[in-house]
Amino acid sequence: MNRGRIIDRAMVLSIVLALMAAGSSRLRADSGTCSGQMIALPFMDVAANPFFCDIAEAYFCGLTNGTSSSTYSPSSIVTRDQMAAFITRTQDSAIRRMNRRAALGQWTQGVFAGGAMTDVDTFPYLVKSDGVDIWVASAATSTVSRVRASDGHFIESWTGASGARGVLVARGRIYVTGGSTPGHLYRFDPSQAAGDVVTVADLEPYPDSLTTDGFFIWTACNGSTFSNGGSICRINPTNGNVTKFSGFVSPNGILYDGSNIWMIDLPASVLYKLNTNGTIAQSITVGATPYYPAFDGTNIWVPNKNNNSVTVVRVKDSVGAPLASAFVLTTLTGNGLDNPICASFDGQRILVTNNSGDGVSLWKATDLSPLGAFSAPSGSHPYGACFDGVNFWITLQGTNKLARF
Residues 64-103 that bind another protein (CB under 8 A): 77-92, 94-95, 98-100
The one-letter amino acid code at 282 reads: Q
Q: Which CB sits closer to another protein, 21 or 87? A: 87
Please provide the DSSP assignment of 259-302 as one string. S-EEEEETTTTEEEEE-TTS-EEEEEE-SSSB-B-EE-SSEEEE
Question: Closest approach of Cβ 378 to another protein, in Å?
Answer: 27
CA 269/CA 248 separation, integer angstroms: 11
- The residue (of 273 and 380) whose beta carbon lies closer to another protein is 273
Is residue 347 close enough to count as binding another protein by CB under 8 A? yes
**∠ at Cα 19 (18, 25), nearest 5°?**
90
Residue (of 191, 178, 185) closest to 139 by Cα position: 178
Do 187 and 174 touch, CB atoms closer than 8 A? yes
Contacting another protein (CB under 8 A), which of 6, 12, 21, 132? 132
Q: Which residue from 46, 120, 136, 170 is in contact with another protein, where contact means CB under 8 A?
A: 170
Shortest distance (Å) from residue 367 CB to another protein: 4
Residues 8-27: x where in contact with another protein by CB under 8 A, - otherwise, as a string: --------------------
Contact 393, 112 (CB under 8 A): no
Judged by DSSP in three states, 346 sits in coil
Backbone angles phi and psi of 249, in degrees to 5: -80, -70
Half-sphere exposure of 246 (CA within 13 A, CB side): 7
Which one of 25-33, 115-123, 228-236, 326-334 is the stretch in contact with another protein (CB under 8 A)? Answer: 326-334
Task: Return the residue of 32, 42, 190, 322 that touches another protein, per CB under 8 A.
Answer: 190
For residue 90, give every residue at least 6 positions away whose Cβ sits within 8 Å of its Cβ, in sequence order, or none: 63
Q: What is the DSSP letter of 71?
A: B
Q: Confirm or reject binding of residue 256 to another protein (CB under 8 A).
A: yes
250 part of the interface to another protein, by CB under 8 A:
no
Least spacing, CB of residue 18 vs another protein, in Å: 26
Query: Does residue 195 touch another protein according to CB under 8 A?
Result: no
> From the list 159, 329, 373, 398, which residue makes contact with another protein (rule: CB under 8 A)?
329
User: With contacts defined by CB under 8 A, how many residues of the chain interact with another protein?
Assistant: 84
Answer yes or no whether residue 346 interacts with another protein by CB under 8 A: yes
x/- map, 357-386, another protein, by CB under 8 A:
-------xxxxxxx---------------x
d(CA 359, CA 394): 10
What SS3 class is residue 270?
strand
Using CB under 8 A as the binding rule, the residues of this chain from 204 to 243 that contact another protein are 212-215, 237-238
In the bound state with another protein, the residue whose beta carbon lies nearer, of 151 and 367, is 367
